[in-house]
Chain A
Amino acid sequence: MSTIEHDQLLLKGLAENDKKSIETIYRQNYSMIQSFVLNNNGSADDARDIFQEAMVVLYEKAKLSSFLLSCQLKTYLYSICRRLWLKRLQQMSKFSTQVENLEETVAVEEEIEEHEKVNNDFILMEHAMNKIGEPCKSLLDAYYLQKKNMLEIAGEFGYTNADNAKTQKYKCLVRLKKLFFAQYKNA
């Protein structure tokens, strides 16, 4: 199997949240990224963080049907990590941004920008979710995220029937929505 085919297969698996593919990507690339971060004023924990973030970027991309990898996956991942790490160094403004290069890179500015937006949305939703409290949080999680049906949820949470659970779920959703959009107003 050629590298390109191999990479494409991995990306397909990644988009489907397939554990095996994710593991393979980690195995093939993690050590390189780790040594890059360690060589440039970072710690092992930083390397972990950066790699995780890069995986999220890659995941977002892989899910798009329009995405076509124009270089090796290895190069792409490295470019993203490098950009993310540079950004973090800049934020800490502690170190010079002279960063050693281990690999060739491709332009990934757009990806990083998009990722920041996605990340921001994620944080906003997480905040709102953390604010609504229980049992709302679990209820919404069960219905909207785990996609369980109302009957199942009613049984799990101890509602007498699915209709009551449903009413409660909508009440929770209204609250979550309020909290979520309030953050936009404040921002």
Chain B
Amino acid sequence: MEDILLLEAVERYLAGEMNLQEKSVFEDLRKKNAELDQLVVEHTYFLQGLDKYGTLKSFKHTLLEVESNLASEGLMATPALKGKAKVLSLWNKYKRSMAVAASIAGFISLLTLGLTITYTKKYGNESYYELVKEITKTNKEIIVLKSKNVLPAIPIKPEPKVDFMGSGFLIDGKGYLVTNAHVISKMKNIYVENTKGQYYNAVAVYTDNNVDLAILKINDTAFRAVTNLPYSIKRSNSDLGEQFFTLGFPRKEIVYGEGYVSAKSGSDGDTTSYQLTVSANPGNSGGPVINRNGEIIGIITAKDSKADGVVYAAKSKNIFNLLDKIKPEEKYQLKTPVNTTLKGLDRVQQVKKMEEFVYMVVGN
């Protein structure tokens, strides 16, 4: 109530409705009380804004009146339905939906444009070469042949047609994997296969094209949740020269690699990734980069097609950014492994312990 009385006083003061005595008392008060002074200034500003808003609003109203006048004279194109000719009335009738359709089309084209721009920005470097493997026909035949020999014991499940191949790894035993966004970008159906040869259906939960990462969820009743993942995911940046090993699927067999961090930024100074020196081939995309303690420090994304051994990997902390984005949804409360049980083991043991959690990501 006091506020309101005060406001009333301010308005009367501003409108010049106070008598001399009141005015001098009020001005005295203003001088002594900084808060009141501020209120007067603020309210003046606000009332001016309100006044401007009012006049502009009524001006716009006049404009609309004039326009509708002129439109009825035929001087301006009018959006109103007149029904003079059938074609015209049909046009008028569907103009709205056409406009909607056109704006959707426009939006999509803008979106595509935007995507193209991000891509060209990210992969502006011509020699930036994503390591997703596109299976050629001959290769495919080899795979089919092989799997017939290798996997006869597994409960019969139609083998998916494989057009693209990459790598991925579990980040939550419930069946969540991380891979590259570009690995799955062309896949309509996604399957993951572990080193035991078990296939599971998977769906993309979240993709981020900027950092080129995606989170997959295994959507298969046959999948048994894993309680303890032996490795952890590193939240901080790795240092130059840090040694690591990689696991991935450049072929149908898991392949081990070794290397070191050679730069703290990726292609074109991209600070969300590292430059590594390691050998990597198509199919390695999405595979984990693990340091000697058994912490995942990155995810292989691409290599320089012109330079030797120059490979790029997304930094592992990006995974946490992705997880934060899906966190608001209750079903996506992921628990990433916090402790590594690989520390101190020799390399062969480390690989043995973790290889079954690295998956081949395939699809068509």
Using a CB-CB cutoff of 8 Å, which residues 46-64 of chain A contact chain B? 47-48, 52, 55-56, 59
Using a CB-CB cutoff of 8 Å, which residues 119-168 of chain A contact chain B? 121-122, 125-126, 129, 140, 144-146, 166-167
Can you list 13 residue pairs at the A/B interface with Cβ under 8 Å? Answer: A17-B55, A17-B59, A23-B66, A27-B75, A59-B56, A93-B113, A118-B56, A121-B53, A122-B56, A125-B52, A144-B47, A167-B4, A174-B3
Residue A44 is within 8 A (CB to CB) of chain B in the complex: yes
Shortest CB distance B354–A (Å): 46
Per the CB 8 Å criterion, the residue count for chain B at the interface is 34
**For residue B110, which residues in chain A have a CB less than 8 angstroms away from its CB?**
92-94
**For residue A93, which residues in chain B have a CB less than 8 angstroms away from its CB?**
110, 113
Query: Cα distance A140–B285 when bound, in Å?
Result: 62
Shortest CB distance A14–B (Å): 9
Residue B356 is within 8 A (CB to CB) of chain A in the complex: no
Query: Cα distance A170–B50 when bound, in Å?
Result: 14
Residue B80 is within 8 A (CB to CB) of chain A in the complex: no
**For residue B109, which residues in chain A have a CB less than 8 angstroms away from its CB?**
94
Q: Which of A26, A92, A129 has the most CB of B within 10 A?
A: A26
Of A17, A45, A166, A181, which contacts B58 at CB under 8 A?
Answer: A17
Residue B91 is within 8 A (CB to CB) of chain A in the complex: no
Query: Cα distance A44–B56 when bound, in Å?
Result: 24
Using a CB-CB cutoff of 8 Å, which residues 293-342 of chain B contact chain A? none
- Contact of A125 with B50 at beta-carbon distance under 8 Å, contacts A48-B67, A93-B113, A171-B4 already known: yes
Query: Cα distance A122–B54 when bound, in Å?
Result: 9
Instruction: Provide the B30-44 mask, 1 if CB < 8 A to any CB of A, else 0.
Output: 000000000000010
- Contact of A30 with B76 at beta-carbon distance under 8 Å, contacts A23-B69, A121-B49 already known: yes
Query: Cα distance A93–B179 when bound, in Å?
Result: 33
Residue B63 is within 8 A (CB to CB) of chain A in the complex: yes
| Residue pair A177, B46 in contact (C-beta under 8 Å) | yes
Residue B60 is within 8 A (CB to CB) of chain A in the complex: yes
A/B pair count, beta carbons within 8 Å: 92
**For residue B4, which residues in chain A have a CB less than 8 angstroms away from its CB?**
167, 170-171, 174
Per the CB 8 Å criterion, the residue count for chain A at the interface is 39
Residue A99 is within 8 A (CB to CB) of chain B in the complex: no
Of A34, A56, A129, A177, which contacts B77 at CB under 8 A?
Answer: A34
- Contact of A166 with B8 at beta-carbon distance under 8 Å, contacts A19-B62, A93-B113, A174-B3 already known: yes
**For residue A59, which residues in chain B have a CB less than 8 angstroms away from its CB?**
56, 59
- Contact of A173 with B70 at beta-carbon distance under 8 Å, contacts A122-B53, A145-B57 already known: no
**For residue B79, which residues in chain A have a CB less than 8 angstroms away from its CB?**
45
The DSSP consensus for interface residues of chain B is helix
Residue A32 is within 8 A (CB to CB) of chain B in the complex: no
Residue B27 is within 8 A (CB to CB) of chain A in the complex: no
The DSSP consensus for interface residues of chain A is helix
| Residue pair B59, A56 in contact (C-beta under 8 Å) | yes
Query: Cα distance A22–B68 when bound, in Å?
Result: 13
| Residue pair A26, B62 in contact (C-beta under 8 Å) | no
**For residue A17, which residues in chain B have a CB less than 8 angstroms away from its CB?**
55, 58-59, 62
Instruction: Provide the B63-97 mask, 1 if CB < 8 A to any CB of A, else 0.
Output: 10111011000011101000000000000000000
Query: Cα distance A146–B8 when bound, in Å?
Result: 19
Closest residue on chain A to residue B57 by CB atoms: A145
**For residue B58, which residues in chain A have a CB less than 8 angstroms away from its CB?**
17, 145
Residue B51 is within 8 A (CB to CB) of chain A in the complex: yes
Residue B106 is within 8 A (CB to CB) of chain A in the complex: yes
Instruction: Provide the A10-38 mask, 1 if CB < 8 A to any CB of B, else 0.
Output: 00000001010011001100110010000
Of A47, A55, A140, which contacts B63 at CB under 8 A?
Answer: A55
Closest residue on chain B to residue A63 by CB atoms: B55
Q: Which of B46, B50, B70 has the most CB of A within 10 A?
A: B50
| Residue pair B59, A121 in contact (C-beta under 8 Å) | no
Shortest CB distance B6–A (Å): 10
| Residue pair A52, B63 in contact (C-beta under 8 Å) | yes
| Residue pair A56, B60 in contact (C-beta under 8 Å) | yes
Query: Cα distance A34–B67 when bound, in Å?
Result: 13
Closest residue on chain A to residue B114 by CB atoms: A93
